[in-house]
Amino acid sequence: MAMKIRLARGGSKKRPHYSIVAADSRMARDGRFIEKLGTYNPLLAKDSEERVKMNMERVEYWLSVGAQPTDRIARMLEAAGHRAKVERNNPQKAEPGKKAVERAEEKAAKAAAAAEAPAEEEAPAEEAQVEEAPAEAEAEDAPADDAAAAGDNAGKAE
């Protein structure tokens, strides 16, 4: 019989509460179990002592007779200091999806274009300073023309 130490979900909708149980691996998640070993309440703060409670004597017994802890239970045992920390390697889990890769490429392209644009604007900026003086003289004449045009348009609007 393949034994597992795993979580059995209880509680109401959106209010989970788990029992840590020793069960036959062929049984349903919330189904028949052999022994209740503790509780886990994910709604409590991570540093709360009430979050994870385990009867460590019984957990050690089940581990000694060959029960395999699930990944989540193994992490809890590591956090409690009753099990050596295992290096986990799942490189595919850390890879972003296709859409995220596309968005990152678009963002990088925009950033590169934005970085090139100021470099191009710096050289003509010196020429623009020389040309600003005649542009200001034209700008002084332009408001009078704009005012006359605005007055004509105002009369038409009424």
Q: Which pLDDT score is estimated for 158?
A: 47
Considering the entire predicted model, what is its pTM? Answer: 0.55
Nearest to 20 by CA among 12, 8, 3: 8
Q: Which pLDDT score is estimated for 20?
A: 94
Q: What proportion of the chain, given as a percentage, has pLDDT over 90? A: 42
Q: Which pLDDT score is estimated for 90?
A: 74
| Residue 82 confidence class, pLDDT cut points 50, 70, 90 | confident
- pLDDT per position as a tens digit, 122-141: 655 555 555 555 555 555 55
